[in-house]
Protein backbone atom coordinates (compact mmCIF):
# COMPACT_ATOMS: atom_id res chain seq x y z
CA UNK A 1 0.00 0.00 0.00
CA UNK A 2 1.21 3.56 -0.64
CA UNK A 3 2.31 5.43 2.46
CA UNK A 4 -0.39 7.71 3.81
CA UNK A 5 2.29 10.40 4.03
CA UNK A 6 2.87 10.32 0.27
CA UNK A 7 0.98 12.80 -1.89
CA UNK A 8 -1.94 12.87 -2.37
CA UNK A 9 -2.11 12.12 1.33
CA UNK A 10 -5.90 12.03 1.73
CA UNK A 11 -6.33 9.54 -1.12
CA UNK A 12 -3.67 7.22 0.27
CA UNK A 13 -5.12 7.55 3.75
CA UNK A 14 -8.54 6.55 2.40
CA UNK A 15 -7.07 3.54 0.56
CA UNK A 16 -5.38 2.32 3.73
CA UNK A 17 -8.52 3.00 5.78
CA UNK A 18 -10.56 0.77 3.49
CA UNK A 19 -8.03 -2.03 3.03
CA UNK A 20 -6.06 -2.53 6.22
CA UNK A 21 -8.54 -2.76 9.11
CA UNK A 22 -11.00 -5.60 9.70
CA UNK A 23 -12.42 -8.10 7.27
CA UNK A 24 -12.35 -11.89 7.08
CA UNK A 25 -9.62 -12.04 4.39
CA UNK A 26 -11.38 -15.11 3.02
CA UNK A 27 -10.26 -14.57 -0.57
CA UNK A 28 -6.50 -14.31 0.12
CA UNK A 29 -6.82 -17.26 2.49
CA UNK A 30 -8.33 -19.26 -0.38
CA UNK A 31 -5.37 -18.27 -2.55
CA UNK A 32 -3.02 -19.53 0.17
CA UNK A 33 -4.96 -22.74 0.75
CA UNK A 34 -5.06 -23.63 -2.95
CA UNK A 35 -1.32 -22.98 -3.25
CA UNK A 36 -0.67 -25.80 -0.77
CA UNK A 37 -1.57 -28.34 -3.45
CA UNK A 38 1.74 -27.85 -5.28
CA UNK A 39 5.19 -26.28 -5.42
CA UNK A 40 4.51 -22.61 -4.91
CA UNK A 41 6.50 -19.60 -6.00
CA UNK A 42 6.26 -17.58 -2.76
CA UNK A 43 6.57 -14.22 -4.52
CA UNK A 44 3.74 -15.03 -6.94
CA UNK A 45 1.66 -16.28 -4.02
CA UNK A 46 2.10 -13.09 -2.00
CA UNK A 47 1.25 -10.95 -5.02
CA UNK A 48 -1.87 -12.99 -5.77
CA UNK A 49 -3.09 -12.82 -2.17
CA UNK A 50 -2.67 -9.05 -2.09
CA UNK A 51 -4.20 -8.51 -5.54
CA UNK A 52 -7.39 -10.44 -4.90
CA UNK A 53 -7.99 -8.63 -1.61
CA UNK A 54 -7.36 -5.25 -3.25
CA UNK A 55 -10.03 -6.03 -5.84
CA UNK A 56 -12.42 -7.16 -3.11
CA UNK A 57 -11.86 -4.02 -1.04
CA UNK A 58 -12.29 -1.72 -4.05
CA UNK A 59 -15.63 -3.41 -4.75
CA UNK A 60 -16.77 -2.83 -1.16
CA UNK A 61 -15.84 0.85 -1.29
CA UNK A 62 -17.84 1.36 -4.49
CA UNK A 63 -20.77 -0.88 -3.47
CA UNK A 64 -21.28 1.11 -0.26
CA UNK A 65 -21.61 4.44 -2.05
CA UNK A 66 -24.98 6.26 -2.34
CA UNK A 67 -25.38 5.44 -6.05
CA UNK A 68 -25.06 1.72 -5.26
CA UNK A 69 -26.08 0.15 -1.91
CA UNK A 70 -25.83 3.41 0.08
CA UNK A 71 -24.47 1.91 3.29
CA UNK A 72 -22.85 3.75 6.18
CA UNK A 73 -21.09 0.89 8.01
CA UNK A 74 -18.44 -1.58 6.82
CA UNK A 75 -16.21 -3.81 8.91
CA UNK A 76 -17.53 -2.18 12.04
CA UNK A 77 -16.62 1.40 11.12
CA UNK A 78 -17.96 4.19 8.88
CA UNK A 79 -17.78 3.37 5.18
CA UNK A 80 -15.10 5.06 3.12
CA UNK A 81 -17.41 7.66 1.56
CA UNK A 82 -18.84 8.57 4.98
CA UNK A 83 -15.35 9.04 6.37
CA UNK A 84 -13.73 10.80 3.41
CA UNK A 85 -16.52 11.98 1.10
CA UNK A 86 -17.88 10.48 -2.09
CA UNK A 87 -15.26 11.85 -4.48
CA UNK A 88 -12.32 10.55 -2.43
CA UNK A 89 -14.02 7.17 -1.93
CA UNK A 90 -14.61 6.84 -5.67
CA UNK A 91 -10.96 7.59 -6.38
CA UNK A 92 -9.80 5.28 -3.58
CA UNK A 93 -11.74 2.41 -5.14
CA UNK A 94 -10.28 3.19 -8.56
CA UNK A 95 -6.76 3.30 -7.14
CA UNK A 96 -7.18 0.04 -5.19
CA UNK A 97 -8.36 -1.70 -8.35
CA UNK A 98 -5.41 -0.56 -10.45
CA UNK A 99 -2.99 -1.32 -7.61
CA UNK A 100 -4.16 -4.94 -7.72
CA UNK A 101 -2.91 -5.34 -11.28
CA UNK A 102 0.27 -3.40 -10.57
CA UNK A 103 1.05 -5.87 -7.78
CA UNK A 104 0.16 -8.90 -9.90
CA UNK A 105 2.37 -7.71 -12.77
CA UNK A 106 5.54 -7.51 -10.66
CA UNK A 107 8.33 -10.03 -11.51
CA UNK A 108 8.07 -13.57 -10.13
CA UNK A 109 9.79 -16.88 -10.82
CA UNK A 110 6.76 -18.26 -12.68
CA UNK A 111 6.81 -18.77 -16.45
CA UNK A 112 5.60 -15.55 -18.09
CA UNK A 113 2.60 -17.27 -19.68
CA UNK A 114 1.43 -18.53 -16.29
CA UNK A 115 1.77 -15.10 -14.70
CA UNK A 116 -0.12 -13.54 -17.62
CA UNK A 117 -2.87 -16.13 -17.08
CA UNK A 118 -3.14 -15.01 -13.45
CA UNK A 119 -3.70 -11.42 -14.54
CA UNK A 120 -6.33 -12.52 -17.05
CA UNK A 121 -8.17 -14.62 -14.45
CA UNK A 122 -8.39 -11.69 -12.04
CA UNK A 123 -9.41 -9.21 -14.75
CA UNK A 124 -12.22 -11.40 -16.05
CA UNK A 125 -13.50 -12.11 -12.54
CA UNK A 126 -13.63 -8.38 -11.81
CA UNK A 127 -15.26 -7.08 -14.99
CA UNK A 128 -18.62 -7.03 -16.77
CA UNK A 129 -18.68 -10.83 -17.09
CA UNK A 130 -17.82 -11.19 -13.40
CA UNK A 131 -18.20 -9.08 -10.28
CA UNK A 132 -19.19 -5.77 -11.94
CA UNK A 133 -21.72 -7.53 -14.14
CA UNK A 134 -23.26 -9.28 -11.15
CA UNK A 135 -23.65 -5.98 -9.33
CA UNK A 136 -25.32 -4.48 -12.42
CA UNK A 137 -27.83 -7.35 -12.50
CA UNK A 138 -28.45 -6.92 -8.78
CA UNK A 139 -29.20 -3.21 -9.13
CA UNK A 140 -31.46 -3.83 -12.13
CA UNK A 141 -33.59 -6.32 -10.19
CA UNK A 142 -34.32 -4.44 -6.98
CA UNK A 143 -37.96 -5.06 -6.12
CA UNK A 144 -38.41 -7.61 -8.91
CA UNK A 145 -39.02 -11.36 -8.50
CA UNK A 146 -36.19 -13.67 -9.57
CA UNK A 147 -36.16 -17.43 -10.08
CA UNK A 148 -33.53 -19.52 -8.33
CA UNK A 149 -31.70 -19.94 -11.63
CA UNK A 150 -31.62 -16.17 -12.18
CA UNK A 151 -30.53 -15.52 -8.61
CA UNK A 152 -27.72 -18.07 -8.84
CA UNK A 153 -26.51 -16.61 -12.12
CA UNK A 154 -26.39 -13.13 -10.58
CA UNK A 155 -24.45 -14.28 -7.53
CA UNK A 156 -22.12 -16.52 -9.53
CA UNK A 157 -20.91 -13.23 -11.01
CA UNK A 158 -21.30 -10.76 -8.14
CA UNK A 159 -19.80 -12.92 -5.36
CA UNK A 160 -18.73 -16.20 -6.89
CA UNK A 161 -16.45 -14.93 -9.65
CA UNK A 162 -13.86 -13.44 -7.29
CA UNK A 163 -13.96 -16.48 -4.98
CA UNK A 164 -13.34 -18.72 -7.99
CA UNK A 165 -10.51 -16.44 -9.09
CA UNK A 166 -8.91 -16.64 -5.65
CA UNK A 167 -8.77 -20.44 -5.75
CA UNK A 168 -7.48 -20.53 -9.32
CA UNK A 169 -4.84 -17.88 -8.57
CA UNK A 170 -3.56 -20.02 -5.71
CA UNK A 171 -3.25 -23.02 -8.02
CA UNK A 172 -1.60 -20.94 -10.75
CA UNK A 173 1.02 -19.69 -8.27
CA UNK A 174 2.30 -23.27 -8.30
CA UNK A 175 4.42 -24.55 -11.17
CA UNK A 176 3.10 -28.11 -11.00
CA UNK A 177 -0.70 -27.92 -10.57
CA UNK A 178 -2.14 -29.08 -13.89
CA UNK A 179 -5.20 -27.95 -15.85
CA UNK A 180 -7.28 -30.93 -14.70
CA UNK A 181 -6.65 -30.10 -11.06
CA UNK A 182 -7.44 -26.44 -11.69
CA UNK A 183 -10.76 -27.40 -13.28
CA UNK A 184 -11.68 -29.52 -10.23
CA UNK A 185 -10.73 -26.65 -7.93
CA UNK A 186 -12.88 -24.30 -9.98
CA UNK A 187 -15.89 -26.58 -9.44
CA UNK A 188 -15.15 -26.52 -5.71
CA UNK A 189 -14.97 -22.72 -5.76
CA UNK A 190 -18.23 -22.37 -7.73
CA UNK A 191 -20.13 -24.22 -5.03
CA UNK A 192 -18.29 -22.39 -2.27
CA UNK A 193 -19.03 -18.98 -3.78
CA UNK A 194 -22.72 -19.77 -4.02
CA UNK A 195 -22.80 -21.09 -0.44
CA UNK A 196 -21.08 -17.91 0.74
CA UNK A 197 -23.79 -15.74 -0.78
CA UNK A 198 -26.64 -17.89 0.55
CA UNK A 199 -25.20 -17.59 4.06
CA UNK A 200 -24.77 -13.84 3.52
CA UNK A 201 -28.52 -13.64 2.89
CA UNK A 202 -29.22 -15.75 5.98
CA UNK A 203 -26.99 -13.60 8.19
CA UNK A 204 -28.61 -10.42 6.87
CA UNK A 205 -31.81 -11.72 8.50
CA UNK A 206 -30.39 -13.47 11.58
CA UNK A 207 -27.46 -11.38 12.82
CA UNK A 208 -27.38 -7.90 14.31
CA UNK A 209 -25.42 -4.93 13.02
CA UNK A 210 -22.72 -5.15 15.70
CA UNK A 211 -21.99 -8.78 14.84
CA UNK A 212 -22.06 -8.29 11.08
CA UNK A 213 -19.95 -5.15 11.09
CA UNK A 214 -22.34 -3.76 8.48
CA UNK A 215 -25.99 -2.74 8.51
CA UNK A 216 -28.22 -5.74 9.25
CA UNK A 217 -31.46 -6.14 7.31
CA UNK A 218 -30.18 -3.98 4.47
CA UNK A 219 -31.30 -6.36 1.71
CA UNK A 220 -34.83 -6.54 3.05
CA UNK A 221 -34.98 -2.77 3.49
CA UNK A 222 -33.88 -2.30 -0.12
CA UNK A 223 -36.31 -4.98 -1.35
CA UNK A 224 -33.50 -6.96 -2.96
CA UNK A 225 -33.96 -10.53 -4.22
CA UNK A 226 -32.38 -13.01 -1.75
CA UNK A 227 -32.28 -16.75 -1.12
CA UNK A 228 -34.16 -16.23 2.15
CA UNK A 229 -36.97 -14.46 0.31
CA UNK A 230 -37.02 -17.23 -2.30
CA UNK A 231 -36.63 -20.31 -0.06
CA UNK A 232 -37.23 -19.31 3.53
CA UNK A 233 -34.60 -19.06 6.26
CA UNK A 234 -34.21 -22.72 7.25
CA UNK A 235 -34.21 -24.01 3.68
CA UNK A 236 -31.65 -21.41 2.59
CA UNK A 237 -29.26 -22.45 5.36
CA UNK A 238 -29.76 -26.13 4.50
CA UNK A 239 -29.02 -25.35 0.83
CA UNK A 240 -25.76 -23.62 1.79
CA UNK A 241 -24.70 -26.58 3.93
CA UNK A 242 -25.44 -28.97 1.05
CA UNK A 243 -23.35 -26.86 -1.32
CA UNK A 244 -20.42 -26.91 1.11
CA UNK A 245 -20.67 -30.70 1.47
CA UNK A 246 -20.54 -31.03 -2.31
CA UNK A 247 -17.59 -28.63 -2.50
CA UNK A 248 -15.63 -30.54 0.13
CA UNK A 249 -16.28 -33.85 -1.67
CA UNK A 250 -14.62 -32.45 -4.79
CA UNK A 251 -11.37 -32.13 -2.82
CA UNK A 252 -11.05 -35.87 -2.09
CA UNK A 253 -8.43 -36.55 -4.81
CA UNK A 254 -6.08 -34.02 -3.22
CA UNK A 255 -5.87 -35.80 0.13
CA UNK A 256 -4.40 -34.01 3.16
CA UNK A 257 -2.99 -31.18 1.02
CA UNK A 258 -6.54 -29.79 0.70
CA UNK A 259 -7.25 -29.70 4.45
CA UNK A 260 -7.13 -25.90 4.59
CA UNK A 261 -9.51 -25.65 1.63
CA UNK A 262 -11.88 -27.98 3.51
CA UNK A 263 -11.64 -25.85 6.65
CA UNK A 264 -12.39 -22.66 4.75
CA UNK A 265 -15.42 -24.27 3.14
CA UNK A 266 -16.80 -25.24 6.56
CA UNK A 267 -16.06 -21.75 7.85
CA UNK A 268 -18.43 -20.32 5.23
CA UNK A 269 -21.49 -21.94 6.80
CA UNK A 270 -20.31 -21.52 10.40
CA UNK A 271 -19.39 -17.83 10.22
CA UNK A 272 -21.34 -15.18 12.12
CA UNK A 273 -20.41 -12.17 9.96
Q: What is the pLDDT of residue 216?
A: 58
Residue 46 maps to a domain: yes
Residue 96 maps to a domain: yes
Give the C-alpha separation, 153 to 147, whole Å.
Answer: 10
Q: What is the pLDDT of residue 42?
A: 97
Across 98-121, average pLDDT? 97
Q: What is the pLDDT of residue 209?
A: 64
pLDDT at residue 229 tops 70: yes
Number of domains in the chain: 1
Residue 4 maps to a domain: no
b/e 206-217 (16+ beta carbons within 10 angstroms → b): ebeeeebbbbbe
pLDDT at residue 27 tops 70: yes
Residue 3 maps to a domain: no
Q: What is the pLDDT of residue 222?
A: 63
Beta bridge pairs of residue 78: 73
Q: Which of 102, 78, 110 is nearest to 14 (CA)?
A: 78
Query: Does the predicted model carry a pTM greater than 0.75?
Result: yes
Whichever domain contains 246, its CATH number is 1.10.600.10
CA 39 to chain centre: 25
Give the C-alpha separation, 156 to 191, whole Å.
Answer: 9
212 pLDDT band (50/70/90 cuts)? low
- Domain extent at residue 252: 9-270
- Does residue 74 sit in helix, strand or coil? strand
Residue 162 maps to a domain: yes
Tally of CA atoms within 13 A in the half-sphere of 144 that contains its CB = 10
Q: What percent of the chain has pLDDT over 70?
A: 93
Give the C-alpha separation, 125 to 23, whole Å.
Answer: 20
Residue 1 maps to a domain: no
- In this structure, what are the phi and psi dihedrals at residue 35, rounded to the nearest 5 degrees? -70, -20
pLDDT at residue 91 tops 90: yes
Residue 219 maps to a domain: yes
Q: Which of 117, 111, 94, 131 is nearest to 18 (CA)?
A: 94
Residue 181 maps to a domain: yes
Residue 93 contacts residue 101 (beta carbons within 8 Å): no
Residue 3 contacts residue 20 (beta carbons within 8 Å): no
Question: Running DSSP on this structure, what letter comes out for residue 108?
Answer: -
Amino acid sequence: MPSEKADPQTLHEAMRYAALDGGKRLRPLLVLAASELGETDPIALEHAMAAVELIHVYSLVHDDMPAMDNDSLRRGKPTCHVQYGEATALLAGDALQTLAFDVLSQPTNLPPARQLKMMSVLAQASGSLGMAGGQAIDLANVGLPMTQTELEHMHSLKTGALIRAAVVLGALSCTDVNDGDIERLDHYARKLGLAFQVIDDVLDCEADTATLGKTAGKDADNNKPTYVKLMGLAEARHYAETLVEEAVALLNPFGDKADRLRSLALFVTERKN
